[in-house]
Amino acid sequence: MAEPLWGGRFSEPPDPEMLRLTRSIDVDIRLLPHDLEATKAHARVLADAGLLTAGDVDAIDRACDEIASEWSAGTLTPAALDEDVHTLVERELTDRLGDTGARVHAGRSRNDLVAQDLRLWCAEAAGELSAAVAALVEVLADRAEEHAATVMPGYTHLQRAQPVTLGFHLAAHASALVRDHARLRRARDEARTCVLGAGALAGTTLPLDAAVAARALGLPDLFLNAMDAVSDRDFACDLVYASTLCGVHLSRLAEDVVVFSSAEFGFFRLPDAWSTGSSIMPQKRNPDVAELVRGRAAGGIGDLVALLSMLKGLPLAYDRDLQEDKEAVFTAVDRLRGCLAAMTGLMGSIGVDAQAMATAAGGSGSWATDAAEELVLQGTPFRHAHARVGAAVASGTPAPFDPAESVRSRRSHGGTSPERVLAQVEALRAAVR
Ligand code: ARG
């Protein structure tokens, strides 16, 4: 092909700067396996309509497999005029199969194709991310079980509030991740719709049965309206949102790691493999991993805003602005994948100083709420109990019970007692299995 695949109506060659601006292959080449899968599915649709023979479908399948393995082997190089992955695949098929390759794009547009490719990519990525979240939940559940009775201060406003256990605290972080897991599973389901058959925006005059493509792709849902099918990127927003919120949860966990591993707290000891040193201060052991996870959550928020902002003004149906969706989706997913792996490694091996936590849990009158509740049980109105205990704290009355007792006696639903924490741990594990 000496000219772009759409070159028929032009008499002048494309300006090189125009090609540079519009070219997306460096980014969307990641869709290659999915473009090949969608192409195989579309070949079946064409064969079902009598527009390709069974032999053509076999030849297309074989050529697609060849293209895939050449790409993995690094022997496939995009041509100068391959502006995107779809162009590359169509050109390769035509180079290899002649007219059979040139028949493949009938009743199909890059508009429905790119939407389909990205849906397949998102479904796969959402599945992988949810598995990675599940792995982190398992690690946190293990650590929570190990520390179901390890007392530490619980904080509000980062001021000591009531004693809790490390198991309880870790189960709280894992609870947020269980919601992320469910959100990612839903994002996966949202992506699993077949949109091949929508064409450019309005379907086709050819006798194509979109259900054949849905079946070939193993997708449970089929688009309703062709115009919506090529314009819709809700599934991408769902995935980026689910990834971003998960990144925010990791950031909050990371913040606890940063704070609790400082000498001021001394609750956590950073493991060698997940710590960094200083180029000048020989004594340093820094929580860079947690800090980067915290910092990278910002990028996810940026990706989500970029995607939503890109979509908000678009007239129906396809607009080239949509090409920019992939960068946001790919970076959001890649970033979260790295952060999940790091937090899984870090939390699995982080050291715990139970003594430092127990000492801190005993201070600052954190027994006061429990003491007031004891008075309530004896018939004192709560407000009066609050005032009496407040005065006792102010006058330096020593703690009437130890933090471990306090933690054990909070047996309310979702509470801190070790039996409650162990039940939470089991529920967390069950939710991701
Ligand atoms: N590279 C394009 C994208 O990612 C493919 C669709 C191009 N369609 C078009 N009509 N120009 O969105």
The residue to which tokens 């006061």 are assigned: 368
Residues 6+ apart with CB under 8 A from 409: 370, 417
Ligand 1 centre from 114 Cα, in Å? Answer: 7
pLDDT given for residue 185 in this prediction:
98
Is 50 exceeded by the pLDDT of residue 260? yes
Ligand 1 centre from 200 Cα, in Å? Answer: 10
- Tell me, using a 6 A CB cutoff, whether residue 84 lines ligand 1: yes
Q: What are phi and psi of 67, to 5 degrees?
A: -60, -45
- Tell me, using a 6 A CB cutoff, whether residue 35 lines ligand 1: no
Q: Among this protein's residues, is 173 annotated catalytic? A: no
pLDDT given for residue 127 in this prediction:
98
Exactly one of 157, 279, 412, 413 is catalytic; name it: 157
H or E element, residue 163: strand 159-165
Strands (E), 38-145: none
- Tell me, using a 6 A CB cutoff, whether residue 111 lines ligand 1: yes
**Count of H-run helices and E-run strands, the chain:** 18, 6
Whole-number percent of the chain with pLDDT over 70:
100
pLDDT tens across 374-427, in order?
999 999 999 999 999 999 999 999 988 899 999 999 999 999 999 999 999 999
- Span 151-165, average pLDDT: 96
Is residue 130 within 8 A of residue 188, CB to CB? The reply is yes
pLDDT given for residue 2 in this prediction:
64
pLDDT given for residue 366 in this prediction:
87
pTM of the model: 0.96
Q: For residue 111, which of 267, 301, 322, 275 has the smallest C-alpha distance? A: 322
Strands 159-165 and 151-156: antiparallel
- Tell me, using a 6 A CB cutoff, whether residue 384 lines ligand 1: no
What type of residue is 428? L
Residue 378 CA neighbour count, 13 Å, CB half: 8
Q: Among this protein's residues, is 34 annotated catalytic? A: no
pLDDT given for residue 3 in this prediction:
78
